[in-house]
Amino acid sequence: MNSVRQTFLASVLLATISLGQATAFATDDEIVDQRPQVIGPERPLIVRRVVAPRGLIVEAPQFSRWVFGADAENARPAIDEAVERRLREIEIRYHLSDEKRQRLALAARTDKIQFLQRVDDLRRRFEASAGDPDQLALIQNEALQLARDRMTFLGPESFFAKLAKSILEGESVLPQYAEIDDQQLARHLSNIEGAIRAVERQVPLQKPQRERLADLLSKASTPAKVFGDFDDILVKYQLAQLPDNQLKPLFSEAQWPKARQALDEFLEFGPSLVRRGLIHTGDNAWRVNRIQTAISQSESIADAMKPSNLGKH
Please give the pLDDT value at position 183: 83
Mean of pLDDT values over 234-243 = 92
Specify the pLDDT at position 215: 87
Provide the whole-model pTM. Answer: 0.55
**Model pLDDT, residue 172:** 81
Say if CB 89 and CB 183 are below 8 A apart: no
> For residue 115, is pLDDT > 90?
yes
Lowest model confidence (mean pLDDT) among 24-33, 70-79, 148-157, 236-245: 24-33
Average pLDDT over residues 223-239: 85
Q: For all residues of the chain together, what is the average pLDDT? A: 75
Q: Quick check: helix, strand or coil at residue 233?
A: helix
Give CB contacts under 8 A, 24+ apart, made by 66-71: 66/140, 66/143, 66/144, 66/146, 66/147, 67/119, 67/122, 67/143, 67/146, 67/147, 67/150, 68/147, 68/150, 69/147, 70/19
Q: Show Cβ contacts of residue 33 under 8 Å, excluding neighbours closer than 6 positions.
A: 48, 49
**In this structure, are residues 61 and 75 in contact, taking their beta carbons and an 8 Å threshold?**
no
Point out the least confidently predicted range of 78-87, 232-241, 244-253.
78-87
Its sign, for the CA torsion 123, 125, 126, 128, is positive
Q: Is the pLDDT of residue 186 over 90?
A: no
Predicted confidence (pLDDT) per residue in 4-52, tens digit = 444 544 454 444 434 344 333 333 333 333 333 334 444 443 334 444 4
pLDDT band at residue 284 using 50, 70 and 90 as cut-offs = very low
pLDDT at 40: 41
The three-point CA angle 28-33-39 to 5° equals 140
Query: Please, are residues 182 and 188 in contact by the beta-carbon 8 Å criterion?
Result: no
Work out the pLDDT band at 93, boundaries 50, 70, 90. Answer: confident
51: three-class secondary structure by DSSP: strand
Of the given ranges (31-40, 97-106, 238-247), which has the lowest mean pLDDT?
31-40
**The amino acid at 298:** S
pLDDT tier at 271 (50, 70, 90 boundaries)? confident
Of 104-108, 251-255, 308-312, the range with the lowest mean pLDDT is 308-312
% of the chain residues with pLDDT over 90: 31
CB of 195 closer than 8 Å to CB of 217: yes
- Inter-residue contact 94 to 172 (CB < 8 Å): yes
Region 95-120: what's the mean pLDDT?
Answer: 91
pLDDT of residue 81: 84
As a dihedral over the C-alpha atoms of residue 270, residue 246, residue 84, residue 189, rounded to 10 degrees, the angle is -10
Q: Is 265 strand, coil or helix?
A: helix
Band (75; pLDDT cuts 50, 70, 90): confident
Find the mean pLDDT for residues 232-238: 91
Which of 4-8, 203-207, 224-228, 307-311 has the lowest average pLDDT? 4-8
Environment class of 286 (CB within 10 Å of its CB; exposed 0-12, middle 13-18, buried 19+): exposed
Its sign, for the CA torsion 165, 167, 170, 172, is negative
Highest mean pLDDT among 92-96, 191-195, 300-304: 191-195
Please report, for residues 169, 214, 274, the alpha-carbon distance to residue 286 in angstroms, rounded to integers and kept in the order given.
36, 22, 15
Phi, psi (degrees; rounded to nearest 5) at 36: -75, 140
| Average pLDDT score over residue span 115-139 | 89
Q: Give the Å distances, CA to CA, from 73 to 15, 70, 76.
A: 19, 8, 8
The residues near 29 (Cβ < 8 Å, ≥ 6 apart) are none
For residues 160 and 168, the answer to whether their CB atoms sit within 8 Å is no
DSSP, collapsed to helix, strand or coil, labels residue 295 as helix
- Tell me the pLDDT band of 305, cut-offs 50, 70 and 90: low
